[in-house]
Amino acid sequence: MTALGARIKSLRNERGLQQRQLAEKADLTPSMVSQIESGRLTPSLHTLGKVAVALGVPIASLFDGQPEGSIVVSRRTDYPVVSFDGSSERWAVLGAGLFQGKIRAVVSTLGPREHGVTTEKVVIKPGQMKLFYVLAGTVGLHYNGERHVLETGDSALLDGGTSHGWENLGSKPAQALWVILG
Protein backbone atom coordinates (compact mmCIF):
# COMPACT_ATOMS: atom_id res chain seq x y z
CA MET A 1 0.00 0.00 0.00
CA THR A 2 1.32 3.46 -0.86
CA ALA A 3 1.41 6.31 1.64
CA LEU A 4 -1.28 8.09 -0.41
CA GLY A 5 -3.53 5.01 -0.47
CA ALA A 6 -3.05 4.46 3.26
CA ARG A 7 -3.90 8.10 3.99
CA ILE A 8 -7.11 7.93 1.94
CA LYS A 9 -8.10 4.69 3.66
CA SER A 10 -7.38 6.21 7.07
CA LEU A 11 -9.49 9.29 6.32
CA ARG A 12 -12.30 7.08 4.97
CA ASN A 13 -12.23 4.91 8.11
CA GLU A 14 -12.21 8.01 10.38
CA ARG A 15 -15.48 9.01 8.71
CA GLY A 16 -16.99 5.55 9.06
CA LEU A 17 -17.33 5.11 5.30
CA GLN A 18 -17.10 1.88 3.36
CA GLN A 19 -15.22 1.91 0.04
CA ARG A 20 -18.55 1.70 -1.79
CA GLN A 21 -19.87 4.77 0.05
CA LEU A 22 -16.75 6.81 -0.69
CA ALA A 23 -16.96 5.73 -4.34
CA GLU A 24 -20.57 6.95 -4.55
CA LYS A 25 -19.75 10.30 -2.93
CA ALA A 26 -16.75 10.81 -5.24
CA ASP A 27 -18.55 9.57 -8.38
CA LEU A 28 -16.01 6.75 -8.80
CA THR A 29 -16.34 2.99 -9.00
CA PRO A 30 -15.77 0.93 -5.84
CA SER A 31 -13.05 -0.93 -7.76
CA MET A 32 -11.21 2.33 -8.43
CA VAL A 33 -11.31 3.33 -4.74
CA SER A 34 -10.00 -0.12 -3.79
CA GLN A 35 -7.16 0.11 -6.32
CA ILE A 36 -6.20 3.63 -5.14
CA GLU A 37 -6.15 2.57 -1.49
CA SER A 38 -4.06 -0.53 -2.24
CA GLY A 39 -1.60 1.42 -4.40
CA ARG A 40 -2.40 -0.53 -7.58
CA LEU A 41 -3.74 2.64 -9.27
CA THR A 42 -2.19 6.11 -9.34
CA PRO A 43 -5.06 8.61 -9.37
CA SER A 44 -5.01 11.77 -11.46
CA LEU A 45 -5.14 15.15 -9.74
CA HIS A 46 -8.76 15.44 -10.91
CA THR A 47 -9.63 12.11 -9.23
CA LEU A 48 -7.78 13.14 -6.05
CA GLY A 49 -9.86 16.30 -6.01
CA LYS A 50 -13.07 14.25 -6.17
CA VAL A 51 -11.86 12.01 -3.32
CA ALA A 52 -10.89 15.03 -1.20
CA VAL A 53 -14.31 16.64 -1.70
CA ALA A 54 -16.06 13.36 -0.84
CA LEU A 55 -13.99 13.11 2.35
CA GLY A 56 -14.58 16.79 3.16
CA VAL A 57 -10.88 17.67 3.30
CA PRO A 58 -8.51 19.90 1.31
CA ILE A 59 -6.60 17.94 -1.34
CA ALA A 60 -3.28 18.67 0.43
CA SER A 61 -4.49 16.77 3.50
CA LEU A 62 -4.38 13.56 1.44
CA PHE A 63 -0.59 13.92 1.72
CA ASP A 64 -0.57 15.07 5.36
CA GLY A 65 -1.04 13.43 8.69
CA GLN A 66 2.39 13.50 10.36
CA PRO A 67 2.60 14.74 13.95
CA GLU A 68 4.63 17.87 14.69
CA GLY A 69 8.09 17.46 16.16
CA SER A 70 8.76 14.17 14.41
CA ILE A 71 11.01 13.09 11.60
CA VAL A 72 9.55 11.34 8.62
CA VAL A 73 11.90 9.43 6.36
CA SER A 74 10.35 8.96 2.94
CA ARG A 75 11.54 6.10 0.77
CA ARG A 76 11.56 6.61 -2.97
CA THR A 77 9.07 3.76 -3.41
CA ASP A 78 6.61 5.39 -0.99
CA TYR A 79 6.31 8.86 -2.56
CA PRO A 80 2.71 9.68 -3.46
CA VAL A 81 2.43 10.08 -7.22
CA VAL A 82 0.14 12.64 -8.84
CA SER A 83 -0.83 12.57 -12.51
CA PHE A 84 -2.76 15.05 -14.62
CA ASP A 85 -5.55 14.32 -17.07
CA GLY A 86 -4.32 14.90 -20.63
CA SER A 87 -0.61 15.04 -19.74
CA SER A 88 2.21 12.52 -19.40
CA GLU A 89 3.60 14.57 -16.48
CA ARG A 90 3.88 12.71 -13.16
CA TRP A 91 4.81 14.20 -9.78
CA ALA A 92 6.49 12.29 -6.99
CA VAL A 93 5.60 14.32 -3.89
CA LEU A 94 8.61 14.46 -1.62
CA GLY A 95 7.79 13.83 2.04
CA ALA A 96 10.10 16.62 3.10
CA GLY A 97 8.13 18.86 0.75
CA LEU A 98 5.07 18.93 2.98
CA PHE A 99 4.77 22.12 5.00
CA GLN A 100 1.65 23.44 6.73
CA GLY A 101 -0.53 21.09 4.69
CA LYS A 102 0.80 22.21 1.31
CA ILE A 103 2.90 20.42 -1.26
CA ARG A 104 6.27 22.17 -1.28
CA ALA A 105 8.55 19.93 -3.34
CA VAL A 106 7.96 17.48 -6.17
CA VAL A 107 10.09 15.55 -8.62
CA SER A 108 8.29 15.85 -11.93
CA THR A 109 8.82 13.36 -14.76
CA LEU A 110 7.85 14.20 -18.32
CA GLY A 111 7.82 11.85 -21.31
CA PRO A 112 9.91 12.44 -24.44
CA ARG A 113 8.95 15.57 -26.39
CA GLU A 114 5.96 16.20 -24.09
CA HIS A 115 4.74 19.42 -22.47
CA GLY A 116 4.05 19.66 -18.73
CA VAL A 117 0.87 20.96 -17.17
CA THR A 118 0.10 24.65 -17.39
CA THR A 119 0.17 26.97 -14.40
CA GLU A 120 -3.63 27.21 -14.47
CA LYS A 121 -3.71 23.64 -13.10
CA VAL A 122 -1.25 24.44 -10.30
CA VAL A 123 -2.26 27.63 -8.52
CA ILE A 124 0.43 29.65 -6.76
CA LYS A 125 0.41 33.18 -5.34
CA PRO A 126 2.11 36.01 -7.26
CA GLY A 127 5.45 36.78 -5.63
CA GLN A 128 5.82 33.25 -4.30
CA MET A 129 9.11 31.98 -5.69
CA LYS A 130 9.78 28.58 -7.25
CA LEU A 131 13.08 26.86 -7.75
CA PHE A 132 13.26 24.70 -10.88
CA TYR A 133 16.22 22.27 -11.03
CA VAL A 134 16.80 19.87 -13.95
CA LEU A 135 17.65 16.39 -12.64
CA ALA A 136 17.84 14.69 -16.05
CA GLY A 137 17.44 15.68 -19.69
CA THR A 138 17.26 18.82 -21.77
CA VAL A 139 14.16 20.89 -21.18
CA GLY A 140 12.54 24.11 -22.23
CA LEU A 141 11.37 26.25 -19.32
CA HIS A 142 8.61 28.56 -20.55
CA TYR A 143 8.34 31.74 -18.51
CA ASN A 144 6.37 34.86 -19.31
CA GLY A 145 6.29 34.08 -23.04
CA GLU A 146 9.98 33.12 -23.38
CA ARG A 147 11.62 29.68 -23.63
CA HIS A 148 14.85 29.02 -21.74
CA VAL A 149 16.76 25.81 -22.60
CA LEU A 150 18.19 24.09 -19.52
CA GLU A 151 20.36 20.97 -19.22
CA THR A 152 20.90 18.49 -16.39
CA GLY A 153 22.17 20.41 -13.36
CA ASP A 154 20.85 23.80 -14.52
CA SER A 155 18.36 25.69 -12.38
CA ALA A 156 16.10 28.73 -12.46
CA LEU A 157 14.48 30.82 -9.75
CA LEU A 158 11.16 32.29 -10.86
CA ASP A 159 8.07 34.08 -9.63
CA GLY A 160 5.49 31.28 -9.46
CA GLY A 161 2.64 33.73 -10.01
CA THR A 162 3.81 34.49 -13.56
CA SER A 163 2.70 32.15 -16.35
CA HIS A 164 5.15 29.26 -16.69
CA GLY A 165 5.53 25.63 -17.74
CA TRP A 166 8.07 23.24 -19.15
CA GLU A 167 8.64 20.78 -21.97
CA ASN A 168 10.98 17.86 -22.54
CA LEU A 169 13.11 18.61 -25.59
CA GLY A 170 14.77 15.18 -25.64
CA SER A 171 13.92 11.64 -26.74
CA LYS A 172 14.15 10.17 -23.20
CA PRO A 173 12.10 11.02 -20.08
CA ALA A 174 13.18 14.23 -18.33
CA GLN A 175 13.03 14.94 -14.61
CA ALA A 176 12.94 18.21 -12.71
CA LEU A 177 12.72 19.20 -9.08
CA TRP A 178 10.20 21.95 -8.31
CA VAL A 179 10.41 23.60 -4.89
CA ILE A 180 8.01 26.29 -3.69
CA LEU A 181 9.87 28.75 -1.50
CA GLY A 182 8.24 30.81 1.23
Question: What digits encode the pLDDT tens for the residues 33-75?
Answer: 999 998 888 888 788 889 988 998 877 777 755 544 455 556 6
Higher pLDDT, 71 or 9: 9
According to CATH, where is 1.10.260.40 located in the chain? 3-63
Q: Are 36 and 8 in contact (CB under 8 A)?
A: yes
Model confidence over 12-28: pLDDT tens digits?
988 899 999 999 999 99
**Residue 122, helix vs strand vs coil:** coil
Domain 76-180 fold = Jelly Rolls (2.60.120)
Q: How far apart are alpha carbons 173 and 153 in whole angstroms?
A: 15
Q: Are 159 and 131 in contact (CB under 8 A)?
A: no
Out of 1.10.260.40, 3.40.50.150, 3.20.20.140, 3.80.30.20, the CATH code matching 3-63 is: 1.10.260.40
Model confidence over 61-71: pLDDT tens digits?
777 555 444 55
Q: Which pTM does this prediction carry? A: 0.59
According to CATH, where is 2.60.120.10 located in the chain? 76-180
Which CA distances in Å does 13 have to 7, 16, 41, 79, 166? Answer: 10, 5, 19, 22, 39
Q: Which residues pair with 142 in a beta bridge?
A: 147, 165
